[in-house]
Amino acid sequence: MPIDIDPADLIDPHHYGVSGQPHGTWTRLRESSPVHRCEVEGFEPFWAITRHADIMEISGKPDLFSNTAGPVILNDRQLAQRRDDESAFASMRTIIEMDPPEHRDFRKVASGFFTPRSIHRLDEIVEECAREQIDKLGEEGECDFVEAIAQRHPLRVLANIVGIAREDEDKVLELTQQLFGAEDPELQRAGEDRDEAIKELGLEFYNLFNAVIEDRRANPRDDLASLIANAKLKDGSPMGPLETFGYYLIVFTAGHDTTRNAISGGMQALLENPDQLELLCKDPDLAQKAVEEIVRWTSPVNYMRRKVLADTDLHGQKIPKGDDLVMFYCSANRDDSVFDRPFEFDITRHPNRHLGFGTGEHFCLGAHVARLSSRALFRELATRLEYAEPTAPASWIESSFVVGLKHLPMRYKIRPAA
Ligand code: HEM
């Protein structure tokens, strides 16, 4: 029996801007059509994958489900732009667009830096940054939590990792917002053709990171920026200039908006569930479990696309070679065959087998950094927050790929640091 859903809810950035993530549609799909063919005017057609077990299976078979077409379902305008793009950036590929064995070779360049043991070196800067952010709020007042805290905290942490100087942070923030908000009229670069704007943004990022690359080649240090700038691949050859630039870009852009959206969505969930906020304030050590629940609840990376490399069968659906699958992590994270009370926000949830960081070959490279920095921020808040409440409804970014809040207005009272 055909299922009555509007597939545009799943992919159209405008729908996300109006009503956030489409939980009703996902629930119906998980129940009745877990592998569902979607045709949405203006977008490439795709199969929506909504169950936890199916995403686990697909992610475990990178030889059959490929990343080389890129992670995002494109609209007609983006497809045309890609076809016509003759700039040097058109041929740039980053690790999220590679399959094994090439992917493993490139991922290895940075994976040693991102292990839990190695990122301990960031403990101090992350804690100091969290303290600074909360200090900035003063003792009481009103703020937009997204602008004041959620976007600033990951920016400082990532800028440190990829070697961006403090004085360039504002510039980088502006570029990142324009790049990820390219579909959102409030965030996109003003007064310009969107495709031109994206090309220009690429060039500005290139100039910025090139300065870092040159510096770290001349003066290598014990940091990730130096590791990428001086990397050698398995065969001993250096990475090409575009690949080196692409590495900085993927680490920075994959790390910033995702963590910002987890932090702002986490704060919103705590405001909407005062018992959970109270629990966290009573026991700040719960921050670790709370962050896992926040990533499950918010799922800032809404989906990843995979291209099918050979005719295949999923739940009796014949999927021809060349078709695209879209794995909706946020849907998997509310799958009641894995999560008890999936629609309850529970910061003590254990176990919490969420797929917010993906799974398998492309499992989020920066997951431990995201955990470390979000944990530090919520811990600092938990120890100092006396009171908080929303002052107006939150609003959503017009984006269906990296999803989250654009504004979260709130009123608060904070204790000074101990
Ligand atoms: C809460 C914050 C974050 C979330 C929810 C998130 C989520 C994800 C997801 C779902 C993937 C794809 C996984 C897959 O295909 O199986 C991914 C990949 C990636 N993430 Fe994250 N991420 C976050 C933060 C970060 C941070 C802080 C960094 C860098 C410091 C980062 C760097 C990357 C990179 C480089 C990849 C590509 C990995 C590959 O292709 O091998 N992410 N992330």
Note the helical H segments in 91-144: 102-111, 123-136
CATH of domain 8-414: 1.10.630.10
Closest ligand 1 atom, CA of 161? 30
pLDDT digits (tens, 9 = 90+) for 19-40: 999 999 999 999 999 999 999 9
Is the CB of 229 within 6 Å of ligand 1? Answer: no
Q: How far is the CA of 298 from the centre of ligand 1 (A)?
A: 14
Distance CA 286, CA 284 (A): 5
Is the CB of 358 within 6 Å of ligand 1? Answer: yes
Mean pLDDT of 330-338: 98
Is the CB of 365 within 6 Å of ligand 1? Answer: yes
Determine the pLDDT at residue 170.
85
State the pLDDT confidence band at 223, using cuts at 50, 70 and 90: confident
Is the per-residue pLDDT at 48 higher than 80?
Answer: yes
Determine the pLDDT at residue 189.
58
Quick one: what percent of the chain has pLDDT higher than 90?
A: 77
**Do residues 228 and 109 lie in contact, with contact meaning Cβ atoms separated by under 8 Å?**
yes
Nearest one of 257, 289, 290, 261 to 273, comparing CA atoms: 290
Look up residue 263 and give its two tokens: 């932090």
Is the CB of 62 within 6 Å of ligand 1? Answer: no
Is the per-residue pLDDT at 41 higher than 80?
Answer: yes
Which residues lie below 8 Å from residue 288, measured CB to CB, with a gap of 6+?
371, 375
Determine the pLDDT at residue 280.
98
The secondary structure element, H or E, covering residue 143 is: strand 140-144
Is the CB of 359 within 6 Å of ligand 1? Answer: yes
Determine the pLDDT at residue 167.
87
Determine the pLDDT at residue 103.
97
Tell the residue nearest (CA) to atom 1 of ligand 1.
259
Grouping H, G, I as helix, E, B as strand and the rest as coil, residue 387 is strand
CA distances from 383 to 135, 367, 391 (A): 12, 24, 22
Pocket test for ligand 1, best of 111, 253, 364 (most atoms within 8 A of CB): 364
Q: How far is the CA of 46 from the centre of ligand 1 (A)?
A: 22
pLDDT digits (tens, 9 = 90+) for 339-387: 999 999 999 999 999 999 999 999 999 999 999 999 999 999 999 999 9
247: amino acid identity, one letter: Y
Is the per-residue pLDDT at 2 higher than 90?
Answer: no
Tell the residue nearest (CA) to atom 20 of ligand 1.
364
State the pLDDT confidence band at 173, using cuts at 50, 70 and 90: confident
Q: How far is the CA of 191 from the centre of ligand 1 (A)?
A: 32
pLDDT digits (tens, 9 = 90+) for 149-160: 999 999 989 988
Closest ligand 1 atom, CA of 374? 1
Q: How far is the CA of 147 from the centre of ligand 1 (A)?
A: 22
